[in-house]
Structure 1
Amino acid sequence: MSEWITNTITSLGYLGIGLLMFLENLFPPIPSELIMPLAGFTVAKGRMELAPVILAGVIGTILGALPWYYVGKLVGEDNLKRLADKYGKWISVSSRDIEKADNWFDKHGQKAVLFCRLVPGVRTLISLPAGISGMPLVPFLIYSTIGTALWVSFLTLAGYALGDNYEIVEEYLGPVSKIVFVLLIVAFVVWVVNKRKKKH
């Protein structure tokens, strides 16, 4: 993976960075924690400019967030409620739970989108509930862009500062993505177990 990312950036330059960050949002196993630090290292070597590198990363990420947002829109709250009423008993999710989650997102959705863009493991996933809850596109893009710009800038500058050791960023942040993902699954399982206990 590392070699493919390096070759893409070397051969396609800024376009390669944008393309990789776009794909990273569609296929989370592709790590932004490696793409942007490598791009920062390339800037440190004098082969690229800092501002266009960050801009390419941000544009690629935002374009990659849109398919998930529109999948959420396509699914929609009403369809999700119907599915929950039909199959939700297996995981203790009802249409009322969906409604509660949607109400929460209506109140806190902008903050959620902004901050989740800074969290490895949920950066990509946040686009889905934003679409499902019907969050308007313009605020979604604004808050996604702010959060993404901070994340991409951090990764790029880390790679710039670390130079030849840019891969350290991925070594430290890569496991964080997995930990966050596991914690989300554990939290969901605990919630399901508690719900079932209350029912009994």
Structure 2
Amino acid sequence: MDPVTLALPQEPAGGVAGWAADLVDAMGGPGAGLAIALENLFPPLPSEVILPLTGFAAGQGAVSLASALFWTTLGSVAGADALYWIGMLFGRERMHALWARLPLVRASDLERTEAWFARHGTKAVLLGRMVPIFRSLISVPAGLERMPLPVFLGLTALGSLAWNSVLVLAGYWLGDQWDTVGTYVGLLSKVVLLLVLTAIALYVVVRFRSRNPRAQHRRVS
């Protein structure tokens, strides 16, 4: 098959889409997989750009649709596996030692988090692969808690295949309008990030008030 050059009229040549398009042009499906593996390790690289672009490439014949889904899922699993081993090597003892030095937190908070992950870790890993931002982060606590590696890889593959399929197929069907996918998924990512930051802010406020005797005295008065 003759090489196919992807047309990206709405994306600057030096942007993420141009970089991903170059990888797919040069390497085909493995290039898309490499881009997604790097996206897992460096979340600022947006999957909402890379995956629809890969679907668009499949629509233009640069790569088959089956190859696009296989390699992007393999790349997701490879990137998640690297983060899993980072969590595994860092270890629970170091995490507890680091946690003990942080302000406004207690050891019991971490213990409750570990207990929650022990009960719901499989669902967290599976569904977390479909949630922006948490797609990468969920791999680290899985390693910290030493989730069995075959279970982790299997759940990661299933969750990644579901997420990747939605975005790759959207780019495949939308054709040269593939970039509209990124607009909506990017908005979802911002909403998730805002909710997380709000939850953190509320947590800090509650912790600060619980440790501030004056605030407690005012509440009693």
TM-score bracket relative to the smaller structure: over 0.9
For residues 146 and 76 of structure 1, the distance between their equivalents in structure 2, rounded to whole angstroms, comes to: 26
Where 1:120 maps in the other structure, the secondary structure is coil
Match of 1:126 in 2: 138
For residues 74 and 94 of structure 1, the distance between their equivalents in structure 2, rounded to whole angstroms, comes to: 23
Q: Say if 1:121 and 1:176, in contact at 8 Å, map to a contact too.
A: no
Alignment of 1:98-117 (within 5 A): 98-117=110-129
Amino acid at match of 2:123: K
Alignment of 1:1-200 (within 5 A): 1-85=16-100, 87-88=101-102, 90=103, 92-200=104-212
1:29-54: per-residue Cα shift (whole Å, max 9, x none)?
11111111111112222332111110
Q: Say if 1:122 and 1:180, in contact at 8 Å, map to a contact too.
A: no
Q: Which moved more, 1:167-176 or 1:53-62?
A: 167-176
For residues 128 and 46 of structure 1, the distance between their equivalents in structure 2, rounded to whole angstroms, comes to: 36
Question: How well do the aligned residues superpose, as a CA RMSD in angstroms?
Answer: 1.3
Q: Which moved more, 1:26-35 or 1:106-115?
A: 26-35
Count of matched residue pairs = 197
Shift of residue 77, structure 1, vs aligned partner: 1.9
For residues 91 and 198 of structure 2, the distance between their equivalents in structure 1, rounded to whole angstroms, comes to: 26
Amino acid at match of 2:165: S
Where 2:136 maps in the other structure, the secondary structure is coil
Structure 1 unpaired stretches of 5+: none
1:84-131: per-residue Cα shift (whole Å, max 9, x none)?
22x12x2x1222211110110000000001111001111011111111
For residues 46 and 75 of structure 1, the distance between their equivalents in structure 2, rounded to whole angstroms, comes to: 43
Q: Say if 1:80 and 1:95, in contact at 8 Å, map to a contact too.
A: no
Q: Say if 1:82 and 1:95, in contact at 8 Å, map to a contact too.
A: no
Match of 2:218 in 1: none
Q: Say if 1:42 and 1:48, in contact at 8 Å, map to a contact too.
A: yes
Q: Say if 2:28 and 2:62, in contact at 8 Å, map to a contact too.
A: no
For residues 73 and 145 of structure 1, the distance between their equivalents in structure 2, rounded to whole angstroms, comes to: 19
Structure 2 unpaired stretches of 5+: 1-15, 213-221
For residues 83 and 4 of structure 1, the distance between their equivalents in structure 2, rounded to whole angstroms, comes to: 37
| TM-score normalised according to structure 1 size | 0.93
For residues 172 and 94 of structure 1, the distance between their equivalents in structure 2, rounded to whole angstroms, comes to: 38
Shift of residue 183, structure 1, vs aligned partner: 1.9
Structure with higher RCO (Cα < 8 A, 6+ apart) = 1
Shift of residue 142, structure 1, vs aligned partner: 1.0
Q: Say if 1:24 and 1:32, in contact at 8 Å, map to a contact too.
A: yes
Q: Which moved more, 1:20-29 or 1:177-186?
A: 177-186
